[in-house]
Amino acid sequence: MKILRVYVDASVIGGCFDPEFAVESRALVKMAEDGEIILVASSVLLEELKKAPTHVKDLLGSLPDGAVEYLETGSESERLHELYLVAGVVGGSAADDARHVATATVAGVDVIVSWNFKHIVHFDKIKAYNAVNLKEGYPILSIYTPKEMV
C-alpha cells in the first residue's frame, strides 16, 4: 500500500500546541511517527517556523527518520505561485499561502493539510488553485483539514 505524502503548513505544526486544533494536529503527526503517512515540509514552512516558539520549531526535528520529507522551492513552483497571484486566487498579503500550494503541487504530494480556512482550505480557493493547476497541466489538488485526515 502506498504511503500518502501529506504536505503540512505552519497552521498544522502550530496547531499541535493550540487547544482548538491540538487533538487532530497531534493525531496527524502521530500518523507520521507510526509510518502511516509522510509529512512533507517545505522551505516556506521552515521559514515561517523561524518566528515560532522553540517547542513549535523543534517538532519536525523530533520525528523519526523518514517521517518528514523536506522540499525546497524552485523556479517551477515560483512560476506557479506567480500564476496563482496573477489569477487573483489570493492577494499579495497571502503570497506565502500560495507558495505553499505551488510547492506542494509541483512536488506531486497526495494531499495538502492546513487549518488556514481563509487562503487554503476554502471552497472557492481550492477551485481557483485547481483551475490554474489544470490550465498548467498539473493534477487536481486534494486540500483538507487535519480533522478530515485522521
Digit-coded pLDDT (tens) for 90-121: 999 999 999 999 999 999 999 999 999 999 99
Per-residue pLDDT tens for 39-68? 999 999 999 999 999 999 999 999 999 999
Count of the separate structural domains present in the chain: 1
Residue 113 carries which side chain, given as an amino acid letter? V
The grid coordinates listed for 26 are 497531534
- Cβ-based neighbours of 31, under 8 Å, separated by 6 or more: 37, 149, 150
* DSSP H or E stretch at residue 102: helix 95-107
pLDDT for res 119? 98
Q: Is the pLDDT of residue 1 over 90?
A: no
Q: What is the CATH number of the domain that holds 52?
A: 3.40.50.1010
Q: C-alpha grid cell for residue 130?
A: 485547481
The residue segments making up the domain with residue 139 are 4-149
* pTM, rounded to two decimals: 0.96
Element (H, E) at 131: helix 123-135
| Cα-based distances in Å from 4 to 13, 55, 138 | 18, 26, 18
